[in-house]
Structure 1
Amino acid sequence: MLDIAMPGPRRPRIALYGHDTLGLGHLRRNQVLAASFASGCLDADVLILSGAAEAGRFDRPPGVDVVVLPGVDKFADGSYAPSHLRQPLREVVRIRTAIAGAALQAFRPDLLIVDKTPLGFGRELAPVLPVLRRRATSLVLGLRDVLDEPAVASRQWRRERCTETVRDLFDEVWVYGDQDVHDLVAVCGMPPDVAARSHHLGYLGIGRPAADSARPVPGPYVLALLGGGRDGAQLADAFAAAAGPADVTSVIVTGPYLPDEDRRRLLAAAQRRADLVVVDFVPDLSGWVAGASAIVAMAGANTVTELLGSDVPVLLVPRVRPRREQMVRATALAGRAVVDVVDPDALAPETIAGWVTT
């Protein structure tokens, strides 16, 4: 594993980058890492660079701060557009490149971890990475456990020349998953020299909180988690319409990106039912997860990682479009009897109700 050159009398400095164009996955991974780096024996100062406006809504421990880059949204067809600025996408990328480069050069990190995209969105890290490398910053590429279906992931890895980029710029590759569940090194076809600097670290987690550490309602409840929420309406509607057990509350956490029309529909349903609660955003779900009787969730990497740290029964409803990453993850875990899975094309209120009551 990586041997980071420590800076002497000052605290270590670690930077974490996530482009965050769809959902909160990159940000949540980086938050878990940041909290770990800033505490304990390392006691580092950590700077997170994120494209998610929500980055500022999360609590930050001492020693952790955030630079929010101008937002870019990714759509279901794979296209991108500025989240807020009314400028061409290339101009927004130019601004992001300047901000990221200035922040990283001023911060002078001892370690930079880049999440998923080696050169950043639109190659926005390409100018600064060689500068950091010359300054002896250790560079790590962090990858979630599953990128996509094996053939698609391998093709994307080759098309984006990730092997060459890792070979030229990065010291190591960290995979946040279990190699026995999904071997990303093999899937991507990494050559021996890159495979030798790649390590499956296991799933990132924050421990197991007590079930009474935080609860959305006083009594028993079943929890639905939509991840960021942008494509969670199908699951939310089925969950809201499912007949739950008597005296058990149904709680939906929509995520900040659920479209307004879908959110209004869920809130209207909650007004008609005393046993349905709809919440848009919870900075720390760990207590809610630990206290649930059962959980129905999408199968994003960070949602699943949080669920694996609990003993609560889980039904995963993976997204299958525009990529099948969530289905690959859910199927692999179901094969080890860790979770149950239902294909979203077969999802119905009765499916959820039947699973919850068994």
Structure 2
Amino acid sequence: MNNANVIDFKPTERAETRILIYSHDSYGLGHLRRCRTIAEALVQNHPNTTVLIVSGSEIAGSFNNVPGIDVIKIPGIIKLENGDYASRAEGVALETTLSMRRKLIAKTAQVFDPHLFIVDKEPMGLRGEVEPTLVERQLAGCKTVLGLRDVMDDPQTLQEEWDDKGLIPKTASLFDEIWIYGPRDFWNPLEGIDVPPHMAAKTHHVGFINRHRDPQSQSLNIALPDHFILVTAGGGGDGDDIMLDVLAARTAHDDLPPMVLLAGPFMPPAKRQAVHAQAQPFEDITVIDFVAEPEVLMRRADAVVGMCGYNTFCEILSYDKPALYLPRTTPRMEQWVRADRAAALGLASMISSENAADPDKMAAALRALETALPPSQTGFPLEMTGLDEIAKRTENLLSGMPA
């Protein structure tokens, strides 16, 4: 047999611990940035560890390299406004792309042979693409973990979705543990779902993921005001509305504080141009298209305006900034649920898209940020323990210790 084309690791080439992370989304920044943050913590806490992230993100290689972490890029999928998917490559059928993704995920896992396999958010992967790999890895003795953000969707919608996909029995049997990236008293993403006792027993709230870190680059080589409000749209694919609402408020009111607008890499060119054009007349407004380390901006900002995606929410808590959220409500209610809960606890303020479109109401909400309290002074205990707890649970899983 000719083995010239068979990839294999020599024993001396293997890291002591190998961890594989699967991130299904091809659009946006949240899933990939969360996975990279977890990977960095695992490498830092566990010597001789290699983490491989399987992702469909188009900008997977745009982040600073960290020793011990690498990314395998699989063919991209576009999420449509109605929640359906399409191949990113024009002229390629969705089923063809999904078939390629399934095979690449399975082959990567076979060759890498991880000790731990972490699946981010989608239990069986996009259209079930990771289920065969989960079964195979479990049979090979690999530990398996499902990581869920603090909020998934509104309970009724999530119950219907998981029932339709048959996810409850599969999740209960194919994962050794389920990690919820948030504290128990903030929100339970499985609320309303009929979770069997043995699945509940291996579900653990680890706390929010701390995003406070020293960026590798302390400067963006961009002149920034001494004091400013940061307006961020995450990946930016659907973030132009928040930018244009803020700019409309600034057009109508000259007394608003300076602002820095971070558009994001996925904002469509025409919408990006519109944001730049609307901001151009104002010397106290700076528009930045993309930075690999938004922590540089977050730590310098006086307050933050965002859509309330999980990563942005954790960054704001980590840097202890007053915040105003403009959550989207489609295709999921996730952001709205998180923002509403945060507002109820006094951790931030929230404005609906209808009120944000009113320049006077938007301006009033922006002014209120100047006197708003940071999250640490609201009385709600901030459990930013996610990375430490993940490191501990990983050590216990891999050592065979009881949870």
Residue 220 of structure 1 pairs with residue 227 of structure 2: yes
SS at match of 2:144: strand
Aligned match of 1:262: 271
Do structure 1's residue 117 and structure 2's residue 122 form an aligned pair? yes
- Secondary structure, in 3 states, of the residue corresponding to 2:292? coil
Look up the equivalent residue of 2:367 and give its one-letter code. T
2:299 corresponds to 1:273:
no
Look up the match of 1:229. Answer: 236
Q: Deviations over 1:107-126 (max 9, x none)?
A: 11110100111221122112
Aligned length: 351
User: SS state of the match for residue 87, structure 1?
Assistant: coil
Query: 1:253, 1:90 → 2: CA distance?
Result: 35
Q: 1:34 to 1:245 in 2, by over 3 A?
A: farther
CA distance in structure 1 between the aligned counterparts of 2:362 and 2:89, rounded to whole angstroms = 37
Question: Which amino acid is 1:101 matched to?
Answer: A
Superposition deviation, residue 73 in structure 1: 0.4
Q: Tell me how far apart the structure 2 counterparts of residues 10 and 55 of structure 1 sit (CA, whole Å).
A: 22
- Tell me the residue number matched to 1:152: 157
Per-residue CA deviation, residues 88-122 of structure 1 (Å, 9 max, x unaligned), is 00000111111111111111111010011122112
Query: Which among 181, 191, 197 is matched to residue 192 of structure 1?
Result: 197
Q: Which moved more, 1:72-81 or 1:161-170?
A: 161-170
Q: CA RMSD in A?
A: 2.2
Tell me the distance in 1 between the aligned counterparts of 2:256 and 2:226: 8
After TM superposition, give the deviation of residue 267 of structure 1 in Å. Answer: 1.4
Does 2:361 align with 1:356?
no
Aligned-pair distance for 1:127?
2.3
Q: Which of 73, 92, 106 matches 1:68?
A: 73
Give the 3 Å change call, closer, same or farther, for CA 245–208 of structure 1 in structure 2.
farther
Separation in 2, partners of 1:323, 1:315: 20
Shift of 1:207: 2.4
Q: Secondary structure at the match of 1:186?
A: coil
Query: Which has more radius of gyration?
Result: 2
Q: CA deviation at 1:51?
A: 0.7
Q: For residue 178 of structure 2, what is the amino acid of its counterpart?
A: V
Instruction: Name the CA distance, whole Å, in 2 between partners of 1:81 and 1:10.
Output: 37
Q: Which amino acid aligns with 2:54?
A: L
Could you list the per-position Cα deviations for residues 103-155 of structure 1 after superposition, in whole angstroms to 9, with x for gaps in the alignment? 11111111010011122112211222221111111010111111111111122
SS of the residue corresponding to residue 280 of structure 2 reads helix
CA deviation vs aligned residue, 1:178-215 (integer Å, no higher than 9, x gap): 211112233333121101011111111232559x9446
1:246: how far off? 5.9
Match of 2:103 in 1: 98
CA pair 247-175 structure 1, distance change in 2 beyond 3 A: closer
Greater mean deviation of Cα atoms: 282-291 or 100-109: 282-291
TM-score by length of 2: 0.82
Deviations 1:140-176 (CA, angstroms, capped at 9, x unpaired): 0111111111111122222222221122211111111
What are the superposed Cα offsets for residues 275-317 of structure 1, whole Å, 9 maximum, x if unpaired? 2221121211122112111211001111111111122210000
TM-score of the two chains, using structure 1 as the length reference = 0.92
Question: How many angstroms apart in 2 are the aligned matches of 1:340 and 1:322?
Answer: 22
Which of 19, 23, 30 is the equivalent residue of 2:28? Answer: 23
**Residues 19 and 51 of structure 2 are in contact (CA less than 8 Å); yes or no, is this contact kept in structure 1?**
yes
What is the aligned partner in structure 2 of residue 140 from structure 1?
145
Secondary structure at the residue paired with 1:66? strand
Letter in 1 for 2:359: P
- Structure 1 spans left out of the alignment, 5+ residues: 1-6
In the alignment, the residues of structure 1 paired with residue 279 and residue 191 of structure 2 have an alpha-carbon distance, to the nearest angstrom, of: 46
- Shift of the 209–241 alpha-carbon distance from structure 1 to 2, 3 Å rule, reads farther
Structure 2 residue 92 is matched with structure 1 residue 83:
no
What letter matches 2:303 in structure 1? A
Residue type at the aligned position of 2:74: L
Aligned to 1:239: 246
CA contact (8 A) 2:151 2:337 kept: yes
Aligned AA (2:141): A
Structure 2 counterpart of 1:4: none
Which residue of structure 2 aligns with residue 45 of structure 1? 50
Q: CA contact under 8 A between 1:209 and 1:290: conserved in structure 2?
A: no
Q: Secondary structure at the match of 1:182?
A: coil
Q: Is 1:12 the counterpart of 2:17 in the alignment?
A: yes
Partner residue of 2:336 out of 309, 327, 330 = 327
User: Does residue 1:295 correspond to 2:300, yes or no?
Assistant: no
Q: 2:352 maps to what in 1?
A: 343
Matched residue, 2:134 = 129
- 1:71 deviates by 0.5
CA distance in 2, matches of 1:117, 1:220: 40
- Residue type of the alignment partner of 1:234: D
- The 1:10/1:72 distance shift into structure 2, 3 A limit, reads closer
2:175 corresponding residue in structure 1: 170
Note if contact 2:355-2:362 (Cα within 8 Å) is conserved in structure 1.
Answer: no
Question: 2:291: which partner in 1?
Answer: 282
For residues 16-58 of structure 1, what are the alpha-carbon distances to aligned partners after superposition, in whole Å with 9 as ceiling and x for unaligned? 1011133122111101101001113444100000010111101
SS of the aligned residue for 1:236 comes to: helix
* Uncovered stretches (5+) of structure 2, i.e. residues with no partner: 1-10, 369-403
